[in-house]
């Protein structure tokens, strides 16, 4: 992981270059898939999109389909690379965990002044839930899209029921993708989340923000203080204790008490 604190700049590296390229490759290709998918319905001619500068091609089904396929190649490649790269490196911070739903409700309530927001690691619980949902949506789009593409390019006489199922699944999850994309943008616009916008473009967030909202994440990156071997005493107290100990060791023991011989029975004289 490339997470690190840049104290002299007051920043924290949240995403490295690889993560930024992945994010924008999926985001931009996904947006292009969304637009060209709408053009294939067709809607460009109906709503005069073809009259807009640079979009005269949008009314051509074949051109829209080829652009859709090209965007799909980038989309699938970026998604597969993301899973393999971070999976091999063991970076599962975005994977949903038990209790994320309950904790997300606490966070949302705190947005409206009801309760206090708990401390977080690198990712918020709602981010992990959104990630899990988006992974499922993208997986269904890719699988259903591959069936439709195979039918268009290689098997025009494919079993009709399979094609219908693939088409419905693709359309349903296309709408879910639009809603998830809108929710993602809306979440960033919320006031508590706005400082994270910087990380989308530069990969870094402010250190003061991270300390306040992601203290558990910062704690993982900061070196732990070395444990103290001895309990510190007040200045001079150690010397006094040492002197007292030496005095006790060198101090002579008191002389033994004199032995008193009883005179109750006097000695007899030999004379």
Residues 166, 80: one domain? no
Side-chain half-sphere exposure of 32, counting CA atoms within 13 A: 18
- CA–CA distance, 63 with 65 (Å, rounded to integer): 5
Per-residue pLDDT of the chain (271 residues; tens, 9 = 90+): 578 899 899 999 999 999 999 999 999 999 999 999 888 887 888 888 888 898 888 888 889 999 999 999 999 999 999 999 999 999 888 999 888 888 888 888 887 777 788 888 899 898 999 999 999 999 999 999 999 999 988 988 889 999 999 999 999 999 999 999 999 898 888 888 899 999 999 999 999 999 998 999 999 888 654 443 433 433 443 444 444 444 444 444 455 555 444 444 444 444 4
Residues 28, 142: one domain? no
- What three-state secondary structure class fits 261? coil
CATH number of the domain that residue 2 is part of: 1.20.950.20
The answer to whether 149 and 196 are in contact (CB under 8 A) is no
Range of the domain at 72: 20-91
Residues 118, 11: one domain? yes
- Using CA atoms, how far residue 16 sits from 3, 12, 120, 258, in Å, is 8, 11, 20, 88
Q: What is the dihedral of CA 185, 191, 196, 201, to 10 degrees?
A: 60
The answer to whether 151 and 158 are in contact (CB under 8 A) is yes
In a domain, 249, yes or no: no
**Of the residues 58, 91, 124, which one is the last residue of a structural domain?**
91
Beta bridge partners of 205: 12
In a domain, 267, yes or no: no
Residues 129, 3: one domain? yes
Strands 204-206 and 4-6: unpaired
């Amino acid at each position: 992981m490339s997470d690190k604190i840049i104290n002299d700049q007051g920043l924290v590296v949240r995403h490295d270059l690889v993560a930024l390229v992945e994010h924008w490759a999926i985001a931009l290709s996904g947006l292009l898939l969304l637009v060209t998918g709408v053009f294939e319905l067709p809607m460009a001619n109906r709503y005069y999109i073809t009259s807009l500068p640079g979009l005269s091609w949008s009314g051509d089904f074949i051109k829209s389909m080829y652009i859709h396929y090209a965007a799909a190649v980038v989309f699938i490649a970026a998604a597969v690379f993301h899973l393999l790269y971070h999976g091999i490196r063991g970076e599962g911070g975005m994977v949903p965990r038990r209790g994320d739903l309950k904790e997300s409700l606490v966070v949302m309530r705190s947005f409206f002044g009801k309760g206090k927001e708990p401390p977080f690691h690198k990712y918020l619980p709602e981010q992990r839930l959104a990630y899990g949902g988006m992974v499922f949506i993208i997986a269904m789009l890719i699988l259903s899209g591959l069936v439709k593409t195979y039918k268009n390019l290689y098997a025009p006489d494919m079993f009709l029921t399979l094609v219908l199922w693939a088409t419905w699944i693709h359309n349903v999850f296309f709408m879910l993708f639009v809603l998830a994309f809108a929710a993602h943008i809306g979440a960033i616009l919320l006031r508590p989340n706005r400082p994270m916008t910087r990380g989308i473009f530069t990969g870094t967030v402010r250190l003061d923000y991270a300390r306040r909202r992601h203290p558990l994440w910062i704690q993982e990156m900061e070196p732990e203080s070395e444990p103290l071997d001895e309990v510190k005493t007040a200045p001079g107290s150690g010397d006094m204790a040492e002197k007292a100990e030496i005095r006790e060791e060198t101090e002579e023991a008191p002389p033994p008490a004199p032995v008193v011989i009883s005179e109750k029975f006097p000695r007899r004289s030999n004379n």
